[in-house]
Amino acid sequence: MFFCIPRWVAVVACLFFFISCALCASQGLEGRVKRSSPLKQSLTYIWPLPAEFSSGEETLSVDPRLSLTVDGNGGGSAIIGAAFERYKGIVFKNGGKFSSLLRKLREKISVYDVSKLKITVHSANVELQLGVDESYTLIVPKAGEVTIEANTVYGALRGLETFSQLCTFDYTTKTVKIHNAPYSIKDKPRFAYRGLLVDTSRHYLPVDVMKQIIESMSYAKLNVLHWHIIDEQSFPLEVPTYPNLWKGSYTKWERYTVEDAYEIVNFAKMRGINVMAEVDVPGHAESWGAGYPELWPSPSCREPLDVSKKFTFDVIQGLLTDLRKIFPFELFHLGGDEVNTDCWSKTSHVKKWLQDHNMTTKDAYQYFVLEAQKIAISQKWTPVNWEETFNTFPSKLHPETVVHNWLGAGVCPKAVAKGFKCIFSNQGVWYLDHLDVPWYVVYNAEPLEGIRDASQQKLVLGGEVCMWGETADASNVLQTIWPRAAAAAERLWSPRGPTSKSVNTTALHRLQNFRCILNRRGVPAAPVTNFYARTAPTGPGSCYEQ
């Protein structure tokens, strides 16, 4: 006597057999991989490192059907819903690479340790400004529901990023795992301002590239995009009140419409990133005169802008009024750096104006900066200026001025001693266009260097790395930014103590891992250890060892 087995039962049995074999084989394979892996089991591979955390020794599987439940006044925000779907796509990116039949079978026979994520957000306020609460608590238990709790949606975003970094894809079992569970993480940023400057004047960056930069910033928990939109080389931004200004763009195809700017700002907000615009005056402004030549002191003297004409300040007023409708962030950058005033003294009508007003060219520089500050303040912006303004006339600056350091060390200590707020961007360590500055120099920089008084330390808002665009465009900007920007990001987010020892044996391995995370997420981050930033690998090798 014999029994006839239905074909579908045989198929299911075979699939079950193959899956079981794969699962069994993976246990031995995992052991071999661990011995050859450059990842060190003693390190916690979260970047930037959380303020407080503990971990265990368990390995958990994560359900590809991971569900979200929300709680609190802000849990239902569209920002949370969109972020969950975004991160689910990142975590389970590899999940659709096997047949639908096999996937369905696996879902039926598998029991996952983690199948639910609960996000609690206490505040319904989604306003994004400097100092918004980005703290969060993330709990990954041995089994059951993972929880993220935050006061604001932006804290929840940071928690989701951390959760995503805990999840790794196991290529043998084709499942997502969380190693070293359970986790208890209480996290918050060290500094409120953690920025990246992007220069779109020296080379135009398309909107999609700007979005890629913003997306990559969120992975490192940076929270301010300093958009250096215009400079002497080009004026790519539409200004409705003065529509000829963008005649200063390189071509009519390398421009940002008002709608483009709105799109960039809103895209950034959904990721917890403010956009601080910069209009650099009175220097670095030659491109303004392509549309309005009267802004030039003369055809042979094209910058600084003409300090003697009311029209110059009318244009600045109209420009800032238009930009206020686009950029809600409380800070606005007015530049003020590298102003060579010789041209003013050599132009007859400007020279006469100086004489009539009993001004030297230095006085006129001060006058121009202070007038621009008044206009920005009238638009309810807090003015930010490069350090030359502070170095030249500190007692005249508006008391709310934020001094932006760039020339070298020692400026922030002087600025906060006089009661000004400061942003740290020392060019020797945090200028990304300086390709010979290695990752560990970026990492070891300290925004509070030379400031011991606690009340003065609070005046240092944070810092930013600067991606000046003379030699960077859409072809190489991301690999120039990353991974060195991540080194600064951890300095700005994580407590100084745990991240200041043995950087070559601790931070290096974690940064190499983060660089590989960026690569897997589509960010073309360059090797960490190459002497010149953004250069390609010199030969074969693992992502984790470059």
C-alpha span between 407 and 389 (Å, rounded) = 12
Q: Kindly report which listed range (106-110, 204-208, 312-316) carries the lowest average pLDDT score.
A: 106-110
C-alpha span between 320 and 311 (Å, rounded) = 14
**Closest-CA residue to 482 (of 170, 256, 218):** 218
pLDDT in tens, 365-413: 999 999 999 999 999 999 999 999 999 999 999 999 999 999 999 999 9
Mean pLDDT score across all residues of the chain: 91
Whole-angstrom CA distances from 98 to 101, 103, 105, 478 are 8, 7, 11, 31
What is the mean predicted confidence (pLDDT) over 133-143? 96
C-alpha span between 344 and 346 (Å, rounded) = 5
Residue 490 contacts residue 443 (beta carbons within 8 Å) = yes
What is the mean predicted confidence (pLDDT) over 122-140? 98
- The reported pLDDT for the residue numbered 104 is 62
Length of the chain: 546
**Closest-CA residue to 490 (of 466, 512, 509, 507):** 507
- The reported pLDDT for the residue numbered 19 is 40
**Closest-CA residue to 309 (of 340, 246, 352):** 352
Active site residues: 338
255 band by pLDDT with thresholds 50, 70 and 90? very high
Partners of 196 in beta bridges? 225, 465
105 band by pLDDT with thresholds 50, 70 and 90? low
What 3-state DSSP class applies to 211?
Answer: helix
What is the mean predicted confidence (pLDDT) over 412-420? 98
Residue identified by tokens 């132009």 is 347
Residue 514 contacts residue 415 (beta carbons within 8 Å) = no
- The reported pLDDT for the residue numbered 268 is 98
What is the mean predicted confidence (pLDDT) over 352-357? 98
- The string of DSSP letters for 389-451 reads HHHH-TTTS-TTPEEE--SSTTHHHHHHHTT-EEEE--HHHHBTT-TT--HHHHHH--TTTT-
* Residues in Cβ contact with 161 at an 8 Å cutoff, skipping those fewer than 6 apart: 87, 218, 219, 221
What angle (nearest 5°) sits at the alpha carbon of residue 354, between those of residues 348 and 356? Answer: 100
